[in-house]
Chains A and B, each alone.
Chain A
Amino acid sequence: MIGIGSATVLKGGHLVDPSQGIDRVADIAVVGGRVAAVGPEAAASVPEGAETIDLSGHYVSPGWFDIHIHAYGTLGFADPDSIGIRQGVTSYVDAGGPGIGVMDEFAALLGGHTVTDLYAGPYIRPMGIIGAQFIEGDIRSLMNFPVTQWVDFMADHPGLVRYLKVAALGSYGTGPLKMGKGLAEIIGVPLYGHIGEYQHQPVDPCVYEIFNISQPGDIITHLYHANDGPVLDEDSRVLPVVRDAERRGVLFDVGFGAFNFGWDLAEKCFAQDLRPHIISSDLQQFNVLGPVKSLANILGIFLHLGMSLDEVIDTITHIPAKALGLEDRIGSLAPGMPADITVFDVEEGEFEAFDTYAVSRRIGRRFAPVLAFKHGVRYEIDMELCQDERNWMMQIAEDHIPEAAARLSGRQREFLGALRPALEPHRWTYSLDDMDLATATALQGVVHAAARRTGIPLRDALMALYGAFLDSPFTIQSGLLLLQIDRDLALDRLEAVARDCRAAA
């Protein structure tokens, strides 16, 4: 096994690296987790006795960079690496899972705890994307727009946030989008605009205003959605506002999603040369079983639509890396770059590829990851790990104490014991019709205050909370988790799990 600090030669693979204009068989020397050399000089760039891995017959590229996934929150996964390194993706961006109100939880839980480098594209709403339609359209959930909180977070966590996500949804016009653009400028990141209205809200003109508001370097995602407000007019022509944005330098991202890619519309767009700059999966629990399954699974669609292999690889390596200011560490295998590498095959045959409207086409090629390297460390591929129900579906253990509770430390149980009386003055009920965001925020505050009082790191406190209620450790916002648990059950469970520690002591 290759590790950081060791040296190896990846020999005989067909390297596709658009950043260097390479599309040929080339050896790659890896030393100390970085690319030492590419090409004929690779063998001479490693110490004698270095390991050689034969990649003949396979393609090799810079590690894939998926700028739109969901690792955190209600759309995320118990094991985020299952949609990252284990599927050949070596870096990714969580697209809107957290908002500023829970960025501290996001950073505590996931910062440095995944093999795949995870960046944040927070959502403008403080709790992030909750995936609940009764919240998305309510202006009140913008909650006074805490600009200084954003500024402070950026200063305290340099490099983590790569874009600001907004959604061109209906109900309140263009104001929220303009505010979002202003905030993106203040914190110095691109605006990342979601288009495509599928939640039965009325289509508002703001769905197209996002194309005017976006400036060069900003990104619009879900380009090929076939929901209300598509990029084509009634005669299937690309809208002028879309072309203007393209000419201006706004970038277009696929964001395949669970609702956001239609074959018919994409074919019409490609016929008019409206192509994506970036391909992303928008992997989440609602599409991990299909039609997306993985970033690799959707790439063959774009070969079918007419892109070349080099162009497709560019959309998941160099272009997104440059767009998000990460070209010094992602998207290239130039000497000196981190050895983040994806090895893959392009299988030929006849494959059925579905869009998000249950429409399929027969395509002739599909991508199949073979191996991945992260900082020179080799990882085996497991494309189906993410499809384990325990990985993508959060289940609250209402009738039993999760096994994880038995593994909590004494300090974690002490925290839970302190949390229980702190929660007792609060009343909450869970309604199918109205998720009480204010109460969720208040409960989150109680959790954080209890963690501070007991002197436990926030991550340990949150993992204790998950361990008391969840069979798998989903990184759901703490207040939202408590809100979904019957209050009496929550208080009794906290007491029970905390008591186990005191009984043992």
Chain B
Amino acid sequence: MTEWQILEGIDPATSEFPAEATLGCETILVFRTANGYRGTEPLCPHQKVPLKTAVLMSGDTMIRCSRHHFIFRLDGGAGVNCTGMRLTTYPVREVDGRLEGALPDIEDQARQTGAVVPAP
């Protein structure tokens, strides 16, 4: 079950997206897309370039790092043109004018890391 937490330091009405926010003790980056909000780790896994300048593409389903154009899916974080790279992503939702985020659940983490999740 997803445990939602209020994202601190971000306001869907006034923030300029992508915007940094605090999820618990983590700093994440939040993208506003045509499909809702999505959070990612703030630095590109390639050479740790800030993703604040990343570009949404492919119907807002992916982001492209502005430095070397490595592309990651926002759903799951898989590298599209960079096999072996993966971006940590976080679900984000808007509730009553506030943004809430959650740590990736175990299945999402497994999907992102390629690990096998034991059957319950």
Contact = CB atoms under 8 A, between A and B. Distances in A.
Contacts of B47: 198
A358 B66 CA distance: 10
Given A389-B57, A389-B58, A395-B58, A432 B83 contact: yes
Given A259-B68, A358-B67, A132 B84 contact: yes
B83 A287 contact: no
Contact of A432 (B57, B71, B114): B114
A130 B81 CA distance: 11
A432 B81 contact: no
A473 B9 CA distance: 44
A134 B84 contact: yes
B81 A393 contact: yes
B79 A432 contact: yes
Nearest to B80: A393
Interface in B51-108: 57-58, 67-71, 78-86
A289 interface: yes
Contact of A433 (B58, B71, B81, B114): B114
Contacts of A393: 71, 80-81
A393 B81 CA distance: 7
Contact of B69 (A130, A133, A286): A286
B81 A285 contact: yes
B35 to A, nearest CB: 15
A198 B46 CA distance: 10
B84 A433 contact: yes
Interface in A375-403: 389, 393-395
Nearest to B77: A432
Contacts of A455: none
27 contacts: A74-B83, A130-B83, A131-B82, A131-B83, A132-B84, A198-B47, A259-B68, A285-B69, A285-B81, A286-B69, A287-B69, A288-B69, A289-B69, A358-B67, A389-B58, A393-B80, A395-B80, A431-B114, A432-B78, A432-B79, A432-B84, A432-B113, A433-B84, A433-B114, A435-B83, A435-B84, A484-B83
Given A133-B84, A289-B69, A393-B80, 16 more contacts: A74-B83, A131-B81, A258-B68, A258-B69, A285-B81, A286-B68, A287-B68, A389-B57, A393-B81, A394-B81, A395-B58, A395-B80, A431-B114, A432-B78, A432-B83, A435-B83
